[in-house]
Structures are given as structure tokens and as C-alpha cells.
Amino acid sequence: MTQDQDTKTGDTAKRGRTVARGESESSLVRMLSVVELFSPEHPTWTAEQIANEMGLTQSTAYRYIAALTSFGYLAPLSGAEYGLGPKIIELDLMIRHTDPLISRAREKAEELVAMVPAAVASLINLHGDTAISVLQVKKPQDLEISFERGRSMKLYAGSAAKVILAHLPRSRLLKLYGNHHADIRNYGLGETWKEFSRALLMIRKSPTLTTIGEANPNSWGIAAPVFNADGDIKGSLVVIMPRDTYETTDRDRLADRLAAAARELAAPPQKGG
């Protein structure tokens, strides 16, 4: 990068910061929400599309895009389209190398996949009304089960998501039930709030949950909840295996080790070695 280019980049970043500082708190939330629009199904957006999707004026959409681009969260592509920017990759690298939970979970995941011939072990984090894989350890590498880092899922299908759902506070569950009753019914979690509550209670009573063919018809999975230091649900640790291995796997032994690993992740790391 030349000195002129470096100066130009610095000026752009300054303009972006000025825009951000001039926004109200609600405007900042809307601006950051632009990033949430991007998905594997819709990886690129134009300013016009963003404005229409979010109910913004064209000038506001362009102002938000300019600020996000200056910080590297968005990047201009061909034509008038924008995609996610390099700052996302930089932050992902930082998380992978500095998040202590991910570092400790990797060791547990490697131990778990070593117990069976073929599996994917993942650490799942709660994010809003979804669960997101933040770590994947696979054996063998060509195993046709994908639970890659960054994959998001609903909270109603599969052991990894359901054990998180079951441990959410009642107030959160009431809101989820009101907003997603159809999904809850379709995934067999109850026709009524009472049935839904009873189904979650049964999940909470066991240290692990096993499901077959819910998240992927060709696999089965076993998961355990992971809590933070305050005892609140943080996510889950899950092992996913090919469906045809269900009968031949020592499920009790795997469940015991998985539950222990999840409990160990909940404990804060010891200081001083």
C-alpha cells in the first residue's frame, strides 16, 4: 500500500467514525443490523435492497454502508453490490486464538471423537434465537457430516439445540413459544405451553440428550449443556455420528464422558497453572 493509499484509507476510517458518532443509539443498532442481513442464501446486497429490506431511505442506507465499509465490516463488490468485509475474518481469527472456552473445548472435542470410529464434535453457542457452532473437530476429515464453525440452527431440532432450549429462563421460553409455536409443534415439542414445558423438563432431568435424524436424517447426536460461571446456559457440547453407528456405539460410556466434559467446561480456568 502506498502512502497516498494509506492516507486515503485513514481518511475513510475517520469519516466512518464521524458518521458513527453522529448517530443515535437506535440508529447504531439499525446500522449494525445491516450485517445481519448477509447469509449463505443472500451473500450480497445492494444499497437499494438494504433500504427496502430494512425500511430505510436510500441516503440512510448509503450512510450506513459507508460507515460499515470504512471499518471493514462490508466490502464493495462488482457493480453496486456489497459483501461482508475483511474485518469479519480478522475478528474470527482473534476469537479462535483468544477465546479460552474454545481452546478448552477443542481438547474435550478431540477426546470425544477419539472414542468412536467416526464423529464430529462441536461447541455450540447461544446467539439470540439461534444456536451457532463455534468449533468443529472431525474424524476422519472426509466424514460426510458437516457441523462447521459458523453454522447456525434453530433451537428446536437436534440434541445440540434442544439442550440449550431446555435450560433457558421461563421468561425467554414464553417469548420463544409465542413467536415460534409452529416450529415447536412441528419438531414434536408440544401442542400447548403445558406440553412444551413438560418436554423441556424431561430434557433437563438428564445430563445428556440423544436425538436421531433431526438435524440431519443420516446422523444421530448426543449433547450436553454448557453453563457459564453464574450457572446460566452458555451453549452445548455435541457429538454427531453416522446414523448406522447408533446400535454399535457404547452410548452410555460416550454420554458419561460427554457430560463430564461439559461440566469441566463450565468451571472457570484455573489461574497460575
Instruction: List per-block mean pLDDT (blocks of 10 residues) for the chain, which spans 273 residues.
Output: 38 43 68 89 93 93 93 91 90 79 90 95 89 91 77 87 95 92 89 95 96 89 93 94 94 96 78 50
Domain assignment of residue 273, yes or no: no
| 200 grid coordinates | 423441556
Establish if 95 belongs to a structural domain. Answer: no
Per DSSP, the residues of 95-120 read: HHHH-HHHHHHHHHHHHHHTTSSSEE
Asked if 105 and 43 sit in the same domain, the reply is: no
Q: What is the pLDDT of residue 145?
A: 76
Domain range for 256:
100-266
Q: Based on the domain organization, do 39 and 153 belong to the same domain?
A: no
CA 210 to chain centre: 20
Based on the fold, state whether residues 178 and 205 are members of the same structural domain.
Answer: yes
Tell me how far apart the alpha carbons of residues 38 and 46 are, in angstroms, rounded to a whole number: 11
CA 158/CA 223 separation, integer angstroms: 9
Residue 94 lies in a domain: no
**How many other CB atoms sit within 10 Å of the CB of residue 21?**
9
Which residue, 50, 85, 120, sits at the end of a domain?
A: 85
| Phi, psi angles (nearest 5°) of residue 16 | -65, -40
Q: Are 238 and 121 in contact (CB under 8 A)?
A: yes
Is the same domain home to 65 and 104?
no
| Adjacency order of strands within the sheet including 152-154 | 152-154, 130-139, 119-127, 233-242, 219-227, 209-212
Domain check: are 252 and 199 in the same one?
yes
Same domain, 19 and 123: no
Same domain for 159 and 68, yes or no, is no
For the chain, what is the domain count? 2
